[in-house]
Structure 1
Amino acid sequence: MGRIAYVNGRYTPHAEAAVHIEDRGYQLADAVYEVWAVFDGKLADAEGHFARLSRSLGELRIPEPMSRGALTVVLREVLRRNRIRNGMVYLQVSRGVAPRDHAFPTAPVSPAVVVTAKAVDHAAAEAKAAKGVSVITTPENRWGRCDIKTVGLLPNVLAKQAAKERGAAEAWFVDEMGLVTEGASSNAWILDRDGVLRTRDTNANILRGVTRLTLLEVIREAGLTVSEKPFSPAEAVEAREAFITGAGSLVLPVVQVDGKPVGEGLPGPVAKRLRALYIQRAKNTAV
């Protein structure tokens, strides 16, 4: 069976799915998105993603396209039609279709909604986590509202491509103070030399990661020490461990930064423990 997508009220073959050429998401990046990890056919961290979606829509003054209940039905139906038990589901909401103009449409238009889903090979993901990944650093060059999860991701795309060309899995943005903000598609963490888990606070220009938020709860429940304190690339290299978090990566150990090993150059015990605890919690609370 081929993949199925949802586009503006219709379930359609993925290969035939399309949006209007004057959709503002396509022409102006006037759109937001969310991604849920899926375990056993259920949405992980569901409440956090729905809350962030509502906030992003509100910040861009895009109306809610449907109720949360109705949207949940759509997300689950896309998973069902694609027979996905473990994977990811992607939602995009644009301001809608209107003649091209930078200002909002004068006449009200309906938001455009797209939902797709794909399976994830968890065995391959676990093998990747067991090996660990490398990251590179790159100067921060994004706009000042990274707290809104918009589809305007060109700096992230270029950073990811630079990482790929250097054999790395992720790129960490570094601000004018020489401190890591976050990754191109993840939040950045270290376990510093004093045994404190550190990640950038959300007062900085970073995305309010839902996986990050859940992991903060997991860390505190595990009795570990955490500080929302920034760190430099040099501190990351000198740290005991490093890792990234996100709906796609979950909790993924980082073993190298800019070609230099972190700790022993292997996934550390704390990152591995947190990955297991996060996955257990995500499975237990998925809806």
Structure 2
Amino acid sequence: MSLAGTLSYIQNKELTAKEVQKETVITEKKDSEPPVISGQKDWVITQGESINVLDGVTATDNVDKAVKLTASDFSNQKIGSHNVIITAEDAAHNKTSKTIVVQVNAPEKAEAVSDEQPIIDEVATAEEPIYEEAAEQIVEEPQVATVAETTWAPYTMYIGGLAIPYQNAGQSSGQQVIDSNPNMIATWGGAAVQSGNDGANTHFIGHNPGIFNVLFSLSTGSQIIVTDGSGTPTYYTVDQLFQVDDYATGIADGQSYADDIIGTGGGERITLQTCVNDAVNLIVVARAS
């Protein structure tokens, strides 16, 4: 072997040894890609209904097998539209968010309430002023009942989230009906028998404290549904709320509203009455819509 060949051989051995001694460097791939969310959807539910907005939702990632999914909170008791944010986060803290909408709707109809309210006098007898009541001013929040019925119940007023039974009693026994059951209302003035197509006014009375405290939750534009004996509903819209004394004289203007309240004229409408205190009454007028 020549000197040049010897040098070349020695150099090659040294280079090989150095290569063996070199530290092996492993380059780890950095996860910078966010996960991908799929399967999300918008929801429409009834007030109080429980759901899991993550049902059917998945998240995939180019590195991690398991990706954490979370969803922001919303109230299933609050009627309206709620934005819910679904977030996926991988081990490298890369995040992806998607927004869905949960629409919470009010119940269509409500159960009739139970018989557990105190008994308070409502409308005076024939010898006394026709609107006299002897109840303290106690305004309670209306009860909210859940949807249970699939058909309209006969002789029922649907108002403020309640389904209130009524009797066609008229002036002869209307007061007696509500005194014996403060969770029931009765016809008193106007047409003694409620009908949605007689073109007349029907006057209903009810107790406060009692089931008719729901009247204090109404305003102009509120909807009231009243069924007849066959369960046929008639829709009414509130267009007047005012107060009168025990002689049907307006508190605000001093005018007499007796004929408006207990008369049959004025077209297809209902007039609802309950006491504010022992000398003042709340009147709600709703017309067929």
* TM-score of the aligned structures, taking structure 1 as reference length: 0.24
Q: Which structure: greater helix fraction? A: 1
Q: Which structure: greater strand fraction? A: 2
Determine which structure has more spread, i.e. the larger CA radius of gyration. 2
The one of the two structures with greater contact order (alpha-carbon pairs below 8 A, sep at least 6) is 1
* TM-score of the aligned structures, taking structure 2 as reference length: 0.24
